[in-house]
Structure 1
Amino acid sequence: MSHSKTLLLVITFCIFSSCYIPNPTIAHDSSKSFIHCLTKKSIPPWLIHTRSSSSYTSILKSSIRNPKFLNTAASTTPLCIVTAKKTSHIQAAVVCGRRHRVRVRARSGGHDYEGLSYRAEDRREQFAVVDLSEMRSVRVDAADGTAWVQSGATLGELYHAIWSHEPGLGFPAGVCPTVGVGGHFSGGGFGMLQRKHGLAVDHVVNATLVDARGDLLDRDAMGEDLFWAIRGGGGGGSFGIVVSWHIKLVPVPATVTVFDVARTPEHGAIDVLTKWQEIAPRMPEDIMVRVIAEPHRVTFEGMYLGTCDELLPLMHHQFPDLAMIRGDCNEMRWIESIPYIHLGSNATVADILNRSSISRVNTKNRSDYVRNTIPNHIWKKIFTMLQQVTNLGEFQMYIDPYGAKISSIHESATPFPHREGVLYNIQYITYWNGDANGTLALKWSRDLYKFMEPHVSKNPREAYANYRDLDLGRNKVVNGISSYHYARVWGKRYFRHNFERLATVKAKVDPDDYFRNEQSIPPLFK
């Protein structure tokens, strides 16, 4: 068959299947037309950073927290970055992108474990980034106990704004103040208040979203199916670009007590940890005791919504093996607990407004959910493995107890399904210097993950969507659309039975799969 006939067949097929033609000339023309369209839509040129712009590299790297992604030659970078300052800029990017075959990815400016908000693994992918970090206003209505927060705000900025308006109010979201609101809410969002108040998405009462047509929708306009999907279903990369969130705030006491109690494996840490997993999920909802496990130390880090005088008898009765004493107590205001837990005892409230948090070492994150306690002898084997990693890099396990409020909500109430029956969540973090590929460190990480398989949740082995992990699977595009069949491999892990409903919503609101990345929700047509 001649070259001209082959090309004709490919083009004919693609007209009917909306597939992508990897033609460099078409790509270049699409890029130029897309940029021209943005300027015609009244986006100021200084907000459009193309690859030839002097500002492009610094803007692109401003949100890269993991050094291994600083090597931009290892993946495809965006054609341009639009640093949006108002909603119409987001809408223009979507309208122009659809018109000129350029996909759009949204970036809140916080953390992104796999970098999917600013990079693509497919060299043929044409996309632009809408950077929302300049859209970070927080409007608090203390009388109503609510706030509107834009997706570009960080959790630290949200917490600070709430405290500035009403010190008696707070919000149940993550521990790290540099996490972006948009991505955090889109995946669920849990932290030190989760046992008392549940997830961040459990308190979202409205939102505004730019959909795949470029229309701006609120809860009434988007309908309850789409509103359900964006509250924990990875909405930022699948269903549209959430501009702002209307959240219900929660009361916090005048005094909270924070503590850190460290033990070594040689001094009973493994025994205490074994008992912790039975006790922590069943403790009163006002107390959260999580675990930070490292090769030679286990830290039991907690927060109690009250004073030390109230906490000590509770701990002595509920968790006597921890042997907590008054000297372990640190009383403070809730807002002060944010920098204290994340940054240490010398940090101030003002420090949570610092948006920069670039790691000095490469990292790989994985996650698990545990529904049955792990025996003591297994924990001993785990710590034997942990002590091997010191020759390769560093390692931490963050273990967060569930129970109480987070587990009392039905798993179908939001896309976040890890509720009743979950004892705790594990986040595994491997750190290494030098080689961005981290061959030896990553092999050790995979070996530990494989070892844990019999001892964690099954059918599916669950994972947390905000701890994005491409090792769980990647989307495969078939006839221009992400395949539901292939996506189930990773989707069921993040969303369990909710994954099919998410894919059905996707088919209704974005049937062409315009908002797409390596782990976006695929459309499921019924």
Structure 2
Amino acid sequence: MAVLRFRALVLTVCLVCFYAPTPSSSASSGDFLHCLSASIPSKLIFTQSSPSFTSVLAAYIRNPRFSTPGTVRPLCIVRPTNASHAQATVLCGRRHGVRVRVRSGGHDYEGLSYRSVQPETFALVDLANLRSVRVDRARATAWVDSGATVGELYYAVTKASGDRLAFPAGLCPTIGVGGHFSGGAFGLLLRKYGIAVDHVIDAVLVDAQGRLLDKKAMGREVFWAIRGGGGESFGIVLSWRVRLVPVPPKVASFIVPVSVNDGAVDVLTKWQEVGPALPDDLFIRVIVTNGWASFESLYLGTCDALLPVMRGRFPELGMNRSHCREMSWAESVLYVCVGSGQPIPVTDLLNRTTSMDTSYKVASDYVRRAIPRDVWAEIFGWLAKPDPGIMIVDPYGGAISAVPEAVTPFPHRGGVLYNIYYMNSWAAGNDGEPNVRWIRDLYAFMAPYVSKNPREAYFNYRDLDLGRNVVVGNVSSYVVGKVWGEKYFKGNYKRLALAKGKIDPNDYFRNEQSIPPLVPVSLISNPVPDSAIRRKVSCCERENLEFYW
């Protein structure tokens, strides 16, 4: 029996009308909760009737936009303290028809780790209690649990190594490790050492059968997939073993703001040429907003060594000795993240709290050809409009670009000049429609100047405007997923879908942008009849038939 493979560019109306997950019945929900209570201590289970349910759910919601009364909330929250609790939740869920979503406590721009866009019965596995970091200084490795933040990882590494070791992940200390690593994870060390998943050497995964698997047991393809192929697609990654990287005991950082009146357009235009071609020890990103471009840097060396590099390679910035500060690598993370120009105690890496005063919307792009100066002048005009947002541009080149695209699922490597992050925010509780429209309009304006075929995006800046899954026969459609999947993963998308087919062919772990399984129909339990699929996709243009979803 052949199963229809429908066209990659599916009409938007199809995306809306086809997403129809089947909720579990009240009886099965009750059976699921009873099953949990038989395997997991009651203090780790929070049902909607529990007094602490709302506070536990809200504890790691980082975007108030997704904490409104209309948000689809989980049936219950499980906070495992060991692997058996996560395994039991999956086994109970499979037995009683309740899916699980997994939250590691980070930013999750679309909130898909703890909410559903459409009505659906699901449980939330919240990994906040699994946050251990175990550093082996002699081997320059560490095991870090998915519920830890990158700030906690950085703090443990710098304390265990005497400021001699680091890890190349994101800048913001409150990012949750589990979701962050699952999307690739780049930060200030990307030009010297690449990204986080380039340094993941083992992991512990709970799969859809409730098995506990390490690198060897999960197999080469699944281990490849979890290192950048997106969270909540292949199972619950409980812990990661990572290789640490050497850094000098003191590094140099600077923050140099330049206004439009002082030539910011020209300096930023020049940065496009300079930033990706600087020595690998030097990283300079730019925050652009409301008439200013702020150039922020990390250099793996001293100020005395940095100054001649800047004078010779980027004199247009006008950076001088008064701008430069020396500090430990861990301190530099906070210095650049906060951007106040003042040193911040390294203990602030342990702060897990974030402001809930503002809601926000984000998007991303990749640039492979320098944007002309006159276009940058227009962009500054966009950033001076009412309700302006920000753009952050991160230079590539160096180590991140030296790795071939297929080595990890994260494909944005050689040929990329820089990544663009767009964000707009508004006061929590206010109507954010003008702010979201600003993002969408600017994103549309940028189309001629960014990567094409596909227009690339960074998975950790997740954006549902790029598309969302369509469920056909209780399995997410592989071809519909290509609409968003190839933007995030380019040619790696199909390999990810094949890996998903190996570890979770029935698509138990899924959300609106999880990887669909690509498997022969014979391996799917209760495959949907071809006639039913034909009826369901009758509004979409069809192509040839294959034995794949």
SS at 1:504's partner residue?
helix
Structure 2 Cα separation of the partners of residues 339 and 298 of structure 1: 19
2:157 maps to 1:159? no
Deviations 1:278-308 (A, max 9, x none): 1100110000000000012100000100000
Alignment identity in percent? 57
Alignment of 1:96-245 (within 5 A): 96-123=92-119, 125-166=120-161, 167-234=163-230, 236-245=231-240
Pairing 1:267–2:262 present: yes
| Matched-pair contact (CA < 8 Å) for 2:140–2:243 | yes
Distance (Å, rounded) in 1 between the aligned partners of 2:261 and 2:185:
35
For residue 417 of structure 2, what is the aligned residue in structure 1? 423
Point out which structure has higher relative CO (alpha carbons under 8 A, 6+ apart). Answer: 2
Cα contact 1:64–1:358 (8 A) shared by 2: no
Deviation at 1:450, TM superposition (A): 0.3
Q: Could you report, residue by residue, the CA deviation over 1:351-379 in whole angstroms, capped at 9, with x for unpaired residues? A: 11010113411110000000000000000
Structure 2-normalised TM-score? Answer: 0.89
Structure 1 unaligned segments of length 5 or more: list them: 1-18
What residue in structure 1 maps to residue 72 of structure 2?
A: 76
The RMSD of aligned alpha carbons is 1.1
Q: Does 1:304 align with 2:302?
A: no
CA-CA distance at 1:217 after TM superposition: 0.2
Q: Secondary structure at the match of 1:254?
A: coil
Structure 1: distance between partners of 2:359 and 2:235: 30
* Native 8 Å contact 1:136 1:151 kept in 2: yes
* Alignment partners' CA distance in 2, 1:437 and 1:237: 30
- Mapped contact 1:75–1:122 kept (Cα < 8 A): no
Deviations 1:233-263 (A, max 9, x none): 01x3100000100000000101100100110
Distance 1:164 1:310 in 2: 26
Structure-2 separation of matches of 1:382 and 1:144: 47
Determine if contact 1:66/1:358 at 8 Å carries over to the other structure. no
Pair 1:464-2:458 in alignment: yes
Q: Which residue of 1 aligns with 2:400?
A: 406
Matched, 1:480 2:474: yes
Structure 1 residues 21 and 445 mapped into 2: Cα distance closer, same or farther (>3 Å)? closer
Counterpart-to-counterpart distance in 2, 1:80 and 1:358: 25
Deviation at 1:508, TM superposition (A): 1.3
Q: CA deviation at 1:75?
A: 2.5
1:438: how far off?
1.4
Q: Secondary structure at the match of 2:232?
A: helix
Displacement of 1:434 after TM fit?
A: 5.5
1:186-234: per-residue Cα shift (whole Å, max 9, x none)?
0000001110000000000000000010000000000110000000001
Distance across 1 between alignment mates of 2:93 and 2:366: 38
Deviation at 1:524, TM superposition (A): 1.2
The alpha-carbon deviation at position 170 of structure 1 amounts to: 0.6
Give distance in 2, aligned partners of 1:20 and 1:395: 35
- Whole-angstrom CA distance in 2 between matches of 1:130 and 1:504: 25
Moved over 4 A (4+): 19-22, 434-437
Name the CA distance, whole Å, in 2 between partners of 1:172 and 1:333.
15
**Pairing 1:450–2:434 present:** no
1:14 aligns with: none
Query: Which of 47, 66, 69 is 1:50 aligned to?
Result: 47
Contact 2:253 2:326 in 1 (8 A): yes
Q: Match of 2:289?
A: 294
Distance (Å, rounded) in 2 between the aligned partners of 1:382 and 1:415? 31
**Aligned equivalent of 1:368:** 365
Q: Which moved more, 1:44-53 or 1:330-339?
A: 330-339
Count residues with an aligned counterpart: 498
TM-score w.r.t. the length of structure 1 is: 0.93
1:348 counterpart residue number: 345
TM-superposition CA deviations, 1:477-509 (whole Å, max 9, x none):
011010111111100000000001001111111
Report the residue type matching 1:276 in the other structure: W
1:249 and 2:247 matched: no
The amino acid across from 2:50 in the alignment is S
Task: Supply the distance in 1 between the matched residues of 2:467 and 2:436 (Cα, whole angstroms).
Answer: 16
1:21, distance to aligned residue in structure 2 (A): 4.6
